[in-house]
Chains A and B, each alone.
Chain A
Amino acid sequence: MSALGAPLRRLEGTAKVTGAARYSFEHTPDGCVYAWPVQSTAAMSRIIAIDVDAVLAMPGVVDVITADDAERLEDADDGELMVLQSSNVAYRGQVVALVVAESLETAREAATRLRVDYQTGDVDAVLEPGHPKLYAPDEVNAGFPTDTSVGDIDQALAQAHAVVDHTYSTPAQFNSPMEPHATVATWSDGRLDVFESSQGSSSTVQILSTLFGIPAADITVDSQHVGGGFGAKGSPRPNVVLAVMAARRVGRPVKLAYTRQMMFALAGYRTPTFSRIRLAAGEDGRLLGLAHDAISQTSTIEEFTEQTAESSRHMYAAPHRSTSHRVAALDVPTPRWMRAPGEMPGMFALESAIDELAHEMGIDPVELRVLNEPASDPESGKDFSSRHLVDCLRRGAAAFGWEGRDPAPGVRRDGRWLVGTGVASALYPAMVMPSSARVTARRDGDYLVEINAADIGTGARTVLAQVTADRLGVDVDRVDIRIGVSSLPQASIAGGSAGTASWGWAVSKASLALVDRLKDEAVPDDGLSAEADTADDIEAMADVDRHAYGAHFAEVRVDLDSGEIAVSRMLGVFAAGRILNSRTARSQFIGGMTMGVSGALHEHGVMDAVHGDYANHDLATYHVAACADVPDIRVEWLDEHDDQLNPVGGKGIGEIGNVGAAAAVANAVWHATGVRVRDLPIQPDALVRHLPMRG
Chain B
Amino acid sequence: MKPLTYERPATLDEAVSLLGRGEVPTSLLAGGTNLVDLLKLDVESPQLLVDVNHLGLDRIDDTPNGGLMIGATVRNSDLAADPRVRERYPLLARALLSAASGQIRNMATTAGNLMQRTRCVYFMDATKPCNKREPGSGCPAVEGASRELGLLGTSDSCIATHPGDMAVALVALDAVVHFVAADGAGTIPIGDFHRLPGDDPSLDTTLPAGAIITAVEVPPLAFASTSTYRKARDRRSYAFALASVAAAIDVDGDTVRDIRIALGGVSPRPWRAHAAEELLRGAPATADSFRAAAEAELAAATPTGENALKVDLVVRLVTGVLLELTGSER
Contacts and interface: CB of A to CB of B under 8 A. Distances in A.
B203 interface: no
Contact of B235 (A601, A618, A685): A601
A684 B1 contact: no
A616 interface: yes
Interface stretch (A580-588, A607-615, A657-665): A607-615
A481 interface: no
A620 interface: yes
Contacts of B324: 416
B228 to A, nearest CB: 12
A617 B147 CA distance: 15
Contacts of B319: 561, 693-695
Contacts of B235: 601-602, 623, 625-626, 628-629
Interface residues of A, number: 44
Given A562-B316, A684-B313, A608 B140 contact: yes
Given A608-B140, A695-B323, A566 B236 contact: yes
Given A106-B1, A693-B291, A610 B232 contact: no
A571 B290 CA distance: 40
Nearest to A93: B127
Contacts of A625: 235
A683 B147 CA distance: 11
Nearest to B287: A695
Given A562-B232, A564-B233, A616 B145 contact: yes
Contacts of B239: 623, 626
A56 interface: no
A417 to B, nearest CB: 11
A563 interface: yes
Nearest to A624: B235
B230 interface: yes
A610 B237 contact: no
Contact of A621 (B119, B290, B329): B119
A693 B121 contact: no
B313 A695 contact: no
Contacts, number: 117
A416 B324 CA distance: 10
A611 B140 contact: yes
A627 B235 CA distance: 10
A394 B313 CA distance: 39
A695 B324 CA distance: 10
Contact of B232 (A564, A601, A693): A564
Interface in B126-182: 127-128, 140, 143-145, 147
A596 to B, nearest CB: 15
Contacts of B147: 606, 685
A403 B290 CA distance: 41
B234 interface: yes
B19 interface: no
B269 to A, nearest CB: 22
A562 B315 CA distance: 9
B317 to A, nearest CB: 5
A628 B237 contact: yes
B309 A620 contact: no
B261 interface: no
Contacts of B290: 695
B286 interface: yes
Given A623-B239, A695-B288, A609 B144 contact: yes
A168 to B, nearest CB: 20
A679 interface: no
Interface in B294-329: 309, 312-313, 316-317, 319-321, 323-324, 328-329
A339 to B, nearest CB: 19
Interface string B110-133: 000000000101101101100000
Nearest to A604: B234
A688 interface: yes
A693 B288 CA distance: 10
Given A610-B144, A616-B121, A621-B121, A626 B323 contact: no
A41 interface: yes
Contacts of B291: 693, 695
B237 to A, nearest CB: 4
B237 A602 contact: no
Contact of A695 (B125, B145, B286, B317): B286
B145 A626 contact: no
Contact of A694 (B42, B122, B323): B323
B6 interface: no
A148 interface: no
Contacts of A559: 232
Which has the most chain B C-beta neighbours within 10 Å: A109, A560, A695? A695
A560 B143 contact: no
B234 A602 contact: yes
B242 interface: yes
Interface in A665-686: 683-685
Contacts of A695: 286-288, 290-291, 319, 323, 328-330
Contacts of A610: 140, 143-144
Nearest to B308: A685
Contacts of A210: none
Given A566-B236, A627-B237, A695-B286, A606 B145 contact: yes
Interface in B263-289: 286-288
Interface string B215-243: 00000000000000010111111110010
A87 interface: no
Which has the most chain B C-beta neighbours within 10 Å: A109, A623, A685, A693? A685
Interface in A549-566: 559-564, 566
Given A562-B317, A610-B140, A623-B235, A688 B309 contact: yes
A486 B330 CA distance: 69
A159 interface: no
A695 B286 CA distance: 8
A693 B145 contact: no
Contacts of B127: 41
B140 to A, nearest CB: 6
A108 B319 CA distance: 50
Contacts of B232: 559, 561-564, 684
Nearest to B288: A695
A445 B330 CA distance: 76
B119 A620 contact: yes
27 contacts: A41-B127, A60-B1, A108-B1, A109-B2, A560-B316, A561-B232, A561-B321, A562-B232, A562-B316, A563-B313, A602-B234, A606-B147, A608-B121, A608-B128, A616-B145, A618-B124, A625-B235, A626-B235, A626-B239, A628-B235, A628-B236, A629-B236, A684-B313, A685-B309, A693-B316, A694-B316, A695-B329
Given A606-B121, A621-B124, A626-B238, 9 more contacts: A561-B317, A562-B242, A606-B145, A608-B144, A611-B128, A618-B124, A628-B238, A684-B232, A693-B319
The 9 lowest CB-CB distance pairs between A and B, nearest first, are A695-B287, A561-B320, A562-B232, A105-B1, A628-B236, A628-B237, A615-B145, A685-B309, A41-B127
